[in-house]
Copies of this chain bind each other. A is one copy, B any other.
Amino acid sequence: MAHGAGGAVMQSLIEKYILKHFGGVQVDVPIDALDDAAVVQGMVLKSDSYTVKPLFFPGGDIGRLAVSGTVNDMCMIGGDPLALAEGFILEEGFNIRELDRILESMRKASDEVGVPVVTGDTKVMERGALDKFVINSSGFGRRNPLLDQNLIVARKDRDVSGQWLVDSNVRAGDKIILSGTIGDHGIAVLSARQGYGFETKVESDAAPLKSVVNSALKVGGVVAMKDPTRGGLANLLNEWCQKSHVGILVEEERVPVKEGVRAACEMLGLDVFEVGNEGKFVAAVVPSRAEAVLAAIKANPLGKDAAIIGEATGDFELVAMETVVGGRRIIAAPAGDPVPRIC
């Protein structure tokens, strides 16, 4: 299960097996970069499978997830999503009313963000060959028209080599902005599974982030963006750290976590930094623009709880956290995901 969990074990599967075959292709942002999406001839391409269990959970469902996740990955690299292709695989006998609810939810999310579903595919597997229903969500987009001006602003502070918002762009001194509370999605999905009865109802944050991303890019100075999905914030920061060859220092008390999520994590022994999110993003911003970008993000309802949670540093090359009780601890990349099949 860890091979699909978004952490270090999956990274090793991809590096050892998948890149062996598909690496080395020369495109603007190649598969080797293992970034959020690929860029080919100036166009952004993204594909993701959704196997969340259960299909419906507080705050969302597999359909909302499929639209949001694919849109968000295209946004993260600096793309402007234009269209989605949605493939459905159903287990024979799958309830048609559930399918209908899922499709309605996809259309709603698609309308919210203004990215249409333009093509699709339907396959059926015989009873027992698939656990109900999975979605393959892919899409393409153009370069975000706000990206050039955003990078011009960033370059007033320092050199930025990449033309896209890739994981290797972070430099010492950059401020790390988190767009809101973490852990909501993973805990909401867990709470919907049998046998968990939490006191507080936690809702998934699944949402397409295009508008709040654009709020940030309009200010300018953003050099990297990424959404903390599988593997959570811990995995995201470690990826930046490895690919950008910088350290990242986070202040625990600045990381927003809802009380219900914190309580559930304590009860279950989960590290909230490793729990997946589907409606949050992290931006690395040049220092002079960080406060302005933060203000713009907070002005958008999707970013109202945003905070500067730390900064990149040249002093070490790992992710460290100043804890609330004082002292520092290292945040390692999780081996797997503490909560399987959350997306």
Contact = CB atoms under 8 A, between A and B. Distances in A.
A117 B21 CA distance: 9
B99 A45 contact: no
A47 B107 contact: no
Interface stretch (A79-87, A161-169, A268-276, A292-300): A79-87
Contacts of A341: 125-126
A188 to B, nearest CB: 19
A51 B49 CA distance: 14
A306 interface: no
B27 A116 contact: yes
A15 B134 CA distance: 20
Contact of A136 (B103, B122, B136): B136
Nearest to A96: B17
Which one of A117, A136, A139 has the greatest number of beta carbons of chain B within 10 Å?
Answer: A136
A41 interface: yes
A46 B47 CA distance: 11
Contacts of A99: 17
Contact of A25 (B21, B116, B122, B142): B116
Interface in A28-54: 30-31, 37-38, 40-41, 43, 45-51, 53
A2 B270 CA distance: 43
B119 A37 contact: yes
Contacts of A31: 117-120
A228 interface: no
Contacts of A125: 4, 51, 131, 134, 341
B45 A83 contact: yes
A124 B22 contact: no
Contacts of A139: 45
Contact of A38 (B83, B89, B103): B83
A47 B5 contact: no
Contacts of A140: 40, 43, 45, 140
A121 B82 contact: no
A335 interface: no
Contacts of A121: 47-49
A315 interface: no
Contact of A3 (B22, B87, B104, B124): B124
Given A3-B122, A47-B120, A130-B130, 15 more contacts: A4-B122, A13-B122, A14-B122, A20-B103, A21-B106, A27-B83, A37-B119, A38-B119, A40-B140, A45-B85, A45-B138, A47-B86, A48-B121, A53-B129, A125-B134
16 contacts: A17-B99, A18-B122, A22-B110, A25-B117, A31-B119, A40-B140, A45-B83, A45-B118, A45-B119, A45-B140, A51-B125, A125-B134, A126-B341, A128-B131, A130-B131, A138-B138
Closest 9 CB pairs of A and B: A4-B124, A136-B136, A47-B85, A38-B119, A138-B138, A129-B131, A38-B118, A25-B116, A21-B107
